[in-house]
Amino acid sequence: MIRERGLDPAGGVQSDDFALLALIKKQFGNNAAEVIRNLDFARRTIGNIPPEKRVDLETACNAFIERQEREERNIRTIYSDRQALKYLCAFAGEKSPLTELTEAKINEYFDTMKPGGRRRTQYKNVKKFVNWCCGEGGYLVIDPMARLKPRDRWNSNKEIFDIEVFRRILFVVAGLEPINPGEAPTVRYQRLLPFYVLGGLGGLRRCEIVRSYPTRPVVAWTDIRWDKNLIVIRDAVAKQTGTESTDHLRYVPLEPSAKEWLKTSAQPSGPVMNISQSTLQRLNDELLDALKVKMPENALRNSYASYGQSIRSLGDVARAMGDLESTVKRFYVETLEPGDGEAWFGIRPGVCGRIVPMDVSASYAAA
């Protein structure tokens, strides 16, 4: 049929060309066409990249991080980018040519992760890096993630704490109630008190309360304005959402109950939570296990939003949390009966027993 239309596929092919084709078929069999396509792909991609830009994966990753630092991206953004690229290099091989970071290889990388928020975050950070390599960086011509979509949605888990469970945790952590009836109260978990108070009664994010790495800024005692009943969340402390250049400074109402709880362990300066993420996790797991309590993911912030929205406007709650109203409603708020929040925010230390003063040195020794 092609010949009838005057299109001869063998037209112009010399005897030497047939010999070359025979050699390719002998070497690669019926996959010869695929080999030729791959050679053409390599010519179009690698051939269009300047020699100085033909680098390995590690070199491109380092160049991207240096760019983020020059652009003065938020320190937590840079840390998150660096961690994501470290994991990518460990999987794909840091010395492998960047041009070998194919769609198939990236899919294999995401196959190693469980479904959920971490994989969604990795997708976002790797995509950002690849976009830079294809654009400003000039390291890639063809985007290996052009057809890849996120496999996961951002979590919208809205589970909250029962009021009595939260009250029980606060009183045990503060040394006001024993873990088991008949036992003496313990001061072992007192360092966890600000974590529960700031999260459950202030709506702060975990990353704003506890350092994820040694130099990361977190809420300090000097950020608590006792006289104005406010907690100042500095821009350096706040999670960077939306536009990088936006000032994320916000003022969180210091609830009367939160003020009373925090006063029991207040210090003149320093971080409110002078504790590492690993130590927090270890002590908290131990506490919850002893109390036979399951802590839902993001339970403190979810609870603040849900109980808060039952007694005040969604706008007030969203401003305190540093999020859009639509985000708070979609991801955090479980609809409760009007007024349920009064009981939640009414949990105060003075209604039961004697407060055991915080002894920082003793609590560190106990751990």
Is the domain of 96 the same as that of 209?
no
Residue with tokens 């479980």: 334
Per-position b or e across 265-300, b if 16+ CB within 10 A of its CB: beeeeebbbbbeeebbeebbeebeeebeeebeebbb
Is the domain of 97 the same as that of 170?
no
Is the domain of 229 the same as that of 359?
yes
Confidence of residue 325 (pLDDT cuts 50, 70, 90): confident
Is the domain of 87 the same as that of 178?
no
Q: What is the mean pLDDT of residues 298-323?
A: 89
Q: How many domains are there within the chain?
A: 2
Residue with tokens 């294809």: 134
Is the domain of 280 the same as that of 356?
yes
| pLDDT per residue as tens digits for the range 212-229 | 778 889 999 999 999 999
- Assess whether pLDDT exceeds 90 at residue 199: yes
**Taking all residues of the chain, what is their mean pLDDT, rounded to a whole number?**
82
Is the domain of 176 the same as that of 292?
yes
- Burial class from Cβ neighbours inside 10 Å (0-12, 13-18, 19+) for residue 63 reads middle
Question: Domain containing 178: what range?
Answer: 163-366
Residue with tokens 């938020």: 74
- Assess whether pLDDT exceeds 50 at residue 2: no
Q: What is the mean pLDDT of residues 46-74?
A: 87
- Burial class from Cβ neighbours inside 10 Å (0-12, 13-18, 19+) for residue 61 reads buried
Supply the pLDDT for residue 362: 35
The domain boundary, picked from 134, 153, 186, lies at 134
Rounded distance between C-alpha atoms, residue 287 and residue 168, angstroms? 11
Rounded distance between C-alpha atoms, residue 308 and residue 325, angstroms? 13
Model-level pTM?
0.61
Supply the pLDDT for residue 247: 75
Region of 8 on the Ramachandran plot (φ > 0 left; ψ -120 to 50 alpha; else beta): beta
CATH at 330: 1.10.443
Question: Is there a domain that residue 360 lies in?
Answer: yes
Is the domain of 127 the same as that of 190?
no
CB 129 within 8 A of CB 61: yes
Is the domain of 95 the same as that of 171?
no
- Assess whether pLDDT exceeds 50 at residue 14: yes
Supply the pLDDT for residue 273: 94
Question: Is there a domain that residue 246 lies in?
Answer: yes
| pLDDT per residue as tens digits for the range 117-136 | 788 889 999 999 999 999 99
Rounded distance between C-alpha atoms, residue 209 and residue 304, angstroms? 15
- Assess whether pLDDT exceeds 60 at residue 40: no
Query: Two tokens at 76?
Result: 């937590």
Is the domain of 184 the same as that of 325?
yes
Question: Is there a domain that residue 264 lies in?
Answer: yes
Which residues have C-beta within 8 Å of that of residue 163, sequence separation ≥ 6? 307, 340, 343, 344, 347
- Assess whether pLDDT exceeds 80 at residue 115: yes
Supply the pLDDT for residue 328: 80
